[in-house]
Amino acid sequence: MLTGGPPWGFKVEGGCDFNAPIRISSVGEGSKAQQQGLREGDVVDKINGESAGRLTNYNARRLMRQAETTLILFLMRDEKENFKIPEILISSPSVCETTTTASTLLQQSQQKQQQQQQSPVQQQQKQKLQQHKDEEKI
């Protein structure tokens, strides 16, 4: 059980907005996460009991940061290892909806218009910035 609240000492990547599972992308040396056995490549199945499969990257990170004293992660390891960590106590949960709302469609349309107006260099810079934000340490 990890106590003391964030930072937990790991980064995540993926999410339903990336069409990829939430995965541990790095674990800090000597961190609470490392002490509890998290490893790069572990797939996050649940965050405090909530399925991570429908979470955006942002919402998954937000839930993990909101945990005040305890974070419960259900993790799966690479299939080759055939190993599943039933739970790691390291605390809090939000969701990618299966249906698209009108506001989501509007946002997507506005983003596409903005991207079309930006030069390729501006688009690359924006993507790099977003990728950096998505991988920020939790």
The pTM for the full model equals 0.60
Give the N- to C-terminal CA distance of the chain in Å, as an integer.
Answer: 17
pLDDT digits over 30-69, tens only?
A: 999 998 889 999 999 999 889 999 999 999 999 998 888 8
Question: How far is 46 from 96, CA to CA, in rounded Å?
Answer: 14
pLDDT digits over 112-125, tens only?
A: 666 666 667 776 77
Q: Which of 12-16, 104-108, 128-132 has the lowest mean pLDDT?
A: 104-108
